[in-house]
Amino acid sequence: MSSLYQQRLLREFGGEDRFKQLWRRFRSASVQFAPCDLFHPADVKALISASPAKAPFFYYSNIFSTNFTLARFSREQAEESYRHFKLSVTTRFPKVIMYGADVSGRWH
């Protein structure tokens, strides 16, 4: 295993064993992939309203920082959409786990 890979496993997931545990939990979970335009508040509202989960996991990739996104929207518009999405989800699900990149491309 490469050193870079090991560092990322430790930093992002708490080590290889923790990652394996999380992966097993994910594979056994009732996962639903839901298409949604995260740049439209009504779509975000419909998405979070449809979820019966108490503590869901939202993986939103790097949608807020792609070249296409930043060509279509101003940085300010992308930032506002990102803030609205995060606030809407965390307000509805206080125990949510979210993972994705912000407008600058930093992963959280």
Q: Which of 82, 89, 97 is nearest to 45 (CA)?
A: 89
pLDDT in tens, 14-66: 888 888 898 898 889 888 888 899 999 999 999 999 888 888 888 899 999 99
- The whole-angstrom separation of Cα 31 and Cα 54 is 14
- The whole-angstrom separation of Cα 44 and Cα 27 is 25
**pTM greater than the 0.85 cutoff:** no
- The whole-angstrom separation of Cα 60 and Cα 103 is 12
Which pLDDT value is given to residue 1? 56
As separate numbers, helices (DSSP H) first and strands (DSSP E) second, the chain gives 5, 2
- The whole-angstrom separation of Cα 70 and Cα 74 is 6
Q: The tokens of 19 are what? A: 């990652």
Q: Where are the domains of the chain?
A: 1-29, 32-108
